[in-house]
Amino acid sequence: MAAGSKNVEIIEEAGSAENETKIEIDNLTKRDDLVCDPVENGKIKKTSNEPLNNGFYQYTQEAGSALTVISIINGCGPKNSEKLSEIVSGLKYADEFVPACNSHDICYTCHQYSRNDCDQTFKNNMKSICDIINEIKAGDTLKTRALKRISKIECVANANLFGDAVSLLGKKSYDETPVNPSPNCAACGVEVVKNDLYKTPFYVLL
C-alpha cells in the first residue's frame, strides 16, 4: 500500500473516531439536561406477592410518584426503528418474551450495563423463557414431550432472531434515552430498578 493511501486511511479513521466522540459528548450533555427528581420521590411496587405468570412478578408505578422508567417502557414494541418493528410484528413468542423486553427496555434506558451486555442479557432471558414455557413435566406423554422439544427449538430460534435484530438495529434507542439515567434521579434510581429490573424479566401494570 502506498504511503499516501495509508495516511488518508489514518486521517479518515481519526476523523470517524472524533465524530463518534462528539456524538457521545452530545448525548451525555442531553442526558444531563433531563429532569432529575429526587430518588425518594420515585415509588414502584409489586402488584402482588405472587408471580403473575411463568414465575415473573408484575410491578407498577405508584400514584403520586415522580416519573420512573417503569412508566415509559413499551415491552416488545421497538422504538426508533421501522425495520425492527417489521421483524417484531411477525415474531412468534413475542407475547411470551414481554417480561424480557421490559427488562431490556430498562437496561437500554438507564444504562446500568453497556449496550452489548444489555443485548446479551436480553437474549439469555428470552432463552430462559423458552425453557420455562416448554418445561417437560413428569406426567407428560411421549407426544407432549416431543412437541415441547420442537416448540423449544422454535422458541430459541425466535429468541436468537429477535436478539440479533436488536443488537443490529438498537443503537439509536440506547443512545437516545428519554429520561435522566443517573442512579441519583428518580427515573432510574429507585432501588428495585437499579438493583434488579434491568436484568430480571418482569411484567408491568401501566
Are 128 and 99 in a shared domain?
yes
Are 64 and 152 in a shared domain?
yes
Are 47 and 22 in a shared domain?
no
Q: Are residues 81 and 167 in contact, defined by beta-carbon separation less than 8 angstroms?
A: no
Task: Spell out the long-range contacts of 64-67 with Cβ–Cβ below 8 A and sequence spacing 24 or more.
Answer: 65/41, 65/186, 66/37, 66/38, 66/41, 66/42, 66/186, 66/187, 67/35, 67/37, 67/42, 67/179, 67/186, 67/187
Give the pLDDT score at 128: 98
Are 142 and 196 in a shared domain?
yes
Are 7 and 62 in a shared domain?
no
Are 16 and 94 in a shared domain?
no
Domain of 28, in residue numbers: 1-33
Are 165 and 99 in a shared domain?
yes
Are 102 and 6 in a shared domain?
no
Are 55 and 77 in a shared domain?
yes
Give the pLDDT score at 21: 44
Q: Are residues 92 and 79 in contact, defined by beta-carbon separation less than 8 angstroms?
A: no
pTM, whole model, 2 decimals? 0.82
For residue range 65-91, list pLDDT tens digits in order. 999 999 999 888 766 667 777 777 778
